[in-house]
Chains A and B, each alone.
Chain A
């Protein structure tokens, strides 16, 4: 039983507490950072930053796409497999081009290869959207199905073999493919520039476009959104296609970084993406989440795992720690929701009704 006296005084601290809780992922990032800066040797070196940011970027791409999907009330398990398949498509095109079957083979330059690969990613996203909206398959099942299909297709494309030496050829204009993974502009890796562009684009969509608002509305209450005139089907198509696009970009970046494409690439990446989104405050029941939060979430996970490696912590312990961090994030998130609801109710009570 609460007592009456404490309630008046509780209002101010709960506001401060709320601000603190809202910034929790950011605070966590700073804490993790400071911790490794002290305990992990070479953590603060530029070289380490470059490597770490490249690792984080891969997960952040997937997590951005995943955030939209989760906000819309769905889930996309297929992204890891799309990464693998898209890498294989890129590798195949670089090595073989497309044989037209009449003795002619079409070769592509870097831009064309990237466009084709991106289209493959978007197409699988569209397939997810089709299954979910038109055939009414639950998102979990639909994307689980495409997870297997895409992975299988990746394996089939090479019989399970790796496409090696993806150096491209100057003759076809594809030699610049390696630049995507290894190049830098103004001292910052190309993949980070891509992340900045995609991140800003996604944040803009979420906040300043009707489409973004509709994604939140569909996730919050699909029926009410539909009756308000929101084209629910289009919104769902968009989120899965955008997620596919993000996965395709990751496929391109990895195959370029490794100068090879392996069909098993991207295995379980979808789980890291979900973890980053959740860590960033995205609600699994839909309607709530922020792109900025997700990117910070991806950084927390990335910095944590790289830092632990540098400290020499065993990979097994790393996995355990990652799990603990995710659960802690969700527990704090729940507490935040309660505080937030209370603050809103208090404000409403002050108005009179």
Chain B
């Protein structure tokens, strides 16, 4: 096997020290060409640091990097790129005000005579890349107008365009649906066959086992396991990652359902193209029930939750919360009536990064500590302390900026913010996106507990396993419509996937599809 996949890049005794923390401890890592090198570990285990070192974003404090037996030093991403290393970052690095084609060829523009940008050629190449990724995203669309999942496709296309010898993918599937993941895997297989060395970071175990050839597990900056993928199973990975046996999803807490907590009728949201992103969705949710919404990206799931919370003024349709009809869409009114949203995009929609943990947590529920217009800061602090304890958030001080926390802890802050409003219905958009397995288990445990207490929960996810094991009932959406509704005992992954693909063909992304319905 070793001969089949030569080592293309090696880190020897790599140590990276950040002020106050050792992110990587004497790590030895071998990156094999023509294979998928899988990297796992909890958030903060050092995966991203190691990849940033390879991509030239960060430099090693100690140790060295070798490529083809020679020591190399990357002082910038340009250096790394000259050595054929490309990286798709977890945080999307795109320019929302530029077009898809402009983004893909950013700093590598196709030019005539070295200065005149050949836009036509860029467009043509973009179309070719999109075809390869089986998407029909128009090269002239602004990236800012794309959904997160589509942006990820653009990010992938961008690194394909660079024709990297070594390609690092940091959680590329976190915003992709099952079909799109399949397409990505096909592309990965092609790259593998071309001899490209791939590094694949993900929190999704089944994916890792499926596509990985070699696996490296990190814990607290040290490598705790490195081997070929043969014979690796989920328990082994989890043991190496967290040093104990699998935590798995929280067990169902038996409880009866209460009365109707949320009813949505005839919800529609027009898009810019004259079609509907959400097209006549109706459903009902009872107290204590967990309703899972599964679907492909662009199926209108996020928009559905946003219309329920009242973000879109153009939305049409009625919402009842515990039997009370909501007035015209206004987020503050809906929150006051017992709705709360945990947005998909933590960074942009969930948190005010510059403010402290305390200020973020109480932002939706300042009324509870205010009399007249005077805020009781002491009451606020004790409320925050209570939730930090209850949600088991690991923080040094509630006065630190929320940006200093890891993804999992940030998500717990967002959930705390929603729970502080004492909601009757919780709308959760991809609650486990980009957080590690430990934090995930805790988030799911909290969801179970809340449901047992009589809260109605609607949650959106692209993860089949998650939706099947957490939901009491599952709704599948496609093209803005509900294409399937299953009870817990009758749902299977094939049924869900079939329903989610209704009206799709691989060459047309959902965003383009629903325009045709006009």
Contacts and interface: CB of A to CB of B under 8 A. Distances in A.
A216 B356 CA distance: 11
B201 to A, nearest CB: 17
Interface stretch (A91-99, A134-142, A345-353): A345-353
Interface in A1-39: 1-4, 7, 10-11
B352 A211 contact: no
A230 B360 CA distance: 12
A7 B61 CA distance: 12
Contacts of A225: 352, 363
A187 interface: no
B417 A209 contact: no
B349 A227 contact: yes
Contact of B359 (A4, A10, A213, A350): A213
B382 interface: no
A210 B375 contact: yes
B428 to A, nearest CB: 13
A213 B409 CA distance: 22
Of the candidates B21, B44, B421, the one having the most CB atoms from chain A within 10 angstroms of its own CB is B21
Interface in B343-358: 343, 348-355
Of the candidates B61, B359, B394, B396, the one having the most CB atoms from chain A within 10 angstroms of its own CB is B396
A212 to B, nearest CB: 8
A74 interface: no
Contacts of B343: 224, 227
A113 to B, nearest CB: 29
Of the candidates B354, B403, B409, the one having the most CB atoms from chain A within 10 angstroms of its own CB is B354
B341 A227 contact: yes
Interface residues of B, number: 54
Given A227-B341, A346-B21, A353 B394 contact: yes
Nearest to A352: B394
Q: What range describes how many residues of A lie at the interface? A: 35 or more
B4 interface: no
B424 to A, nearest CB: 15
A284 to B, nearest CB: 13
Contact of B61 (A1, A208, A346, A351): A1
A126 interface: no
Nearest to B59: A1
B367 interface: yes
B404 A344 contact: yes
Contacts of A224: 343, 348-352
A5 to B, nearest CB: 10
B518 interface: no
Given A211-B373, A229-B364, A230-B332, A353 B406 contact: yes
B145 to A, nearest CB: 16
Of the candidates B364, B373, B404, the one having the most CB atoms from chain A within 10 angstroms of its own CB is B404
B69 interface: no
A220 interface: yes
A231 B354 CA distance: 19
A213 B375 contact: yes
Interface string A283-301: 1000110000000000000
A351 B396 contact: yes
Of the candidates B18, B20, B364, B377, the one having the most CB atoms from chain A within 10 angstroms of its own CB is B20
B53 to A, nearest CB: 12
A228 interface: yes
A208 B352 contact: no
Contact of A345 (B351, B362, B374, B404): B404
B427 to A, nearest CB: 11
A221 B332 contact: no
Nearest to A220: B352
Nearest to B334: A229
A112 B514 CA distance: 60
Contact of B20 (A223, A229, A350): A350
A226 interface: yes
B367 A7 contact: no
A1 B359 CA distance: 35
B341 A346 contact: no
B231 interface: no
Contact of B352 (A2, A7, A221): A221
Interface in B28-45: 43-44
B421 to A, nearest CB: 8
Given A7-B17, A209-B374, A210-B375, A216 B359 contact: yes
B483 to A, nearest CB: 27
B353 A346 contact: no
B494 interface: no
Given A230-B332, A353-B43, A347 B311 contact: no
Nearest to A208: B375
Contact of B19 (A288, A346, A352): A346
A353 B367 CA distance: 32
B326 interface: no
B20 A213 contact: no
Given A208-B377, A211-B373, A349 B20 contact: yes
A217 interface: yes
Contacts of A188: none
B405 interface: yes
A111 B327 CA distance: 42
B331 interface: yes
Contacts of B375: 208-210, 213
A345 B400 CA distance: 9
B2 interface: no
B335 interface: yes
A335 interface: no
B20 A11 contact: yes
B395 interface: yes
30 contacts: A2-B61, A4-B22, A208-B374, A209-B370, A209-B373, A210-B367, A217-B359, A220-B354, A221-B351, A221-B352, A221-B354, A223-B349, A224-B348, A224-B349, A224-B351, A227-B311, A229-B332, A229-B336, A230-B363, A287-B355, A342-B19, A344-B400, A344-B401, A345-B20, A346-B21, A347-B404, A348-B400, A350-B20, A353-B44, A353-B394
Given A213-B362, A345-B404, A346-B19, 11 more contacts: A210-B367, A210-B375, A213-B359, A224-B348, A230-B363, A345-B20, A347-B404, A348-B395, A352-B394, A353-B394, A353-B408
Pairs A-B, 3 closest by C-beta atoms: A346-B20, A347-B396, A349-B21
